[in-house]
Amino acid sequence: MKAISFKIPKNADSSLRVQVDKGARFYDLLHYHPEYQITAIIQGEGILMMGNSFSQFTAGDIFVLGSNVPHLLKNSHEYYGERSPGVHAVSLFFTRTSFGDAFFDIPEFSAAKKIFQDAHRGIKVEQEVGKALLESIERCPSLNGLELLAQYFSILHQLSSSDYSCINPQTFHLETTEYIRDSIDRVIDYSMKHLRESIELRDVARLSNLSVSQFSKRFKHKTNKTYVQFLNELRIETACTYLRTSRDTIHRIAEDVGFTNLANFNRQFKKIKGCAPSTYRRQWQS
């Protein structure tokens, strides 16, 4: 599976595209598009993969994603059953030239320039600090014309003055060589689908038709991390979702995300999240 190039449908009556997603789960295939994207999660939990990093998402979170950065929203396991609690999100799509080539270069938008820069690293505004911003985005589907435009500028202003974190440690650039991009995408897709299983380097190298040594060098060069680092981060972020949403034992959760050794799971969890799994669970339950 390769990252799919999406074409966001244009609305002849607006320079902005407002999209409402409702259903059993979010679209979970890796994709990218030239538009910037602001997404408010109204309902749903899981993991956002953006660029080469991961972030958990839950109701109330807001994300800003840069142009042509591969991403996907992967819901936690209960959203894939017959009794899915359902998801709901509102997204805004726009480009740097939606209002003209030099529109965002005027002095009044100087504070918003950092938003455009950091969007290529992936911006996350958590629910604790983004409640008013969330409400502003949630109102957009009911607006049109000048009201929608004014709301959009208000959202940019709120974003520029909000405390937020960046998902990727550095700007992510889409690999322009299709063969390399597709081979990395196949590896990512395989890793997410086979998370519970034992995954060997030779297995993922075979997907790319490369030797283990060639694959390891290429993956590190294109993602700025080793495959083992990537896989451990994916497993730990998935475990965080289970720790928040299930009552399973920590040992069971470790097995569910592919760790056969509990001590190694605890060690990797503390390395990536800075605390023990039991501490993380208590913090979320308090």
Residues 50 and 155 in one domain: yes
CATH of the domain at 18: 2.60.120.10
Last residue of a domain, one of 166, 196, 230: 166
Within 13 Å of residue 204, how many CA atoms lie on the same side as its CB?
A: 31
Q: What's the whole-number average pLDDT of the chain? A: 87
What pLDDT does residue 45 have? 92
Element housing 22 (H / E): strand 17-23
Domain that holds residue 275: 178-285
Residues 119 and 16 in one domain: yes
The DSSP output letter for 80 is G
What pLDDT does residue 138 have? 96
CATH of the domain at 244: 1.10.10.60
pLDDT digits (tens, 9 = 90+) for 176-230: 445 445 677 788 878 888 989 999 999 999 988 889 999 999 888 877 889 999 9
The answer to whether residue 172 is domain-embedded is no
Separation between Cα atoms, residue 184 and residue 181, nearest integer Å: 5
Residues 106 and 189 in one domain: no
The answer to whether residue 144 is domain-embedded is yes
pLDDT digits (tens, 9 = 90+) for 7-35: 565 665 668 999 999 999 999 888 889 99
Residues 185 and 215 in one domain: yes
Q: Is there a contact between 253 and 243 (Cβ–Cβ < 8 Å)?
A: yes
pLDDT digits (tens, 9 = 90+) for 113-131: 889 999 999 999 977 777 8
60: CB partners within 8 A, 6+ apart: 41, 126, 127, 130, 131, 134
CA distances from 61 to 128, 165, 234 (A): 9, 12, 19
Residues 19 and 142 in one domain: yes
The answer to whether residue 171 is domain-embedded is no
The answer to whether residue 173 is domain-embedded is no
pLDDT digits (tens, 9 = 90+) for 237-277: 999 989 988 899 999 999 999 999 999 999 999 999 999 99
The answer to whether residue 239 is domain-embedded is yes
Q: How many CB atoms lie within 10 A of CB 54?
A: 23
What are the tokens at 41?
């999660």
Q: How many CB atoms lie within 10 A of CB 131?
A: 12
Residues 146 and 13 in one domain: yes
Residues 222 and 122 in one domain: no
Residues 194 and 52 in one domain: no
Q: In what order do the strands lie in the sheet with 62-65?
A: 17-23, 87-94, 36-43, 62-65, 123-125, 165-166
Residues 206 and 132 in one domain: no
Last residue of a domain, one of 146, 166, 186: 166
Residues 129 and 226 in one domain: no
What percentage of the chain carries pLDDT values higher than 90? Answer: 55
2, pLDDT greater than 80: no
Q: Is the dihedral of CA 274, 191, 238, 18 positive or negative?
A: positive
What pLDDT does residue 219 have? 86
The answer to whether residue 190 is domain-embedded is yes
Question: Number of structural domains, the chain?
Answer: 2
Residues 27 and 152 in one domain: yes
Last residue of a domain, one of 166, 199, 229: 166
Residues 110 and 132 in one domain: yes
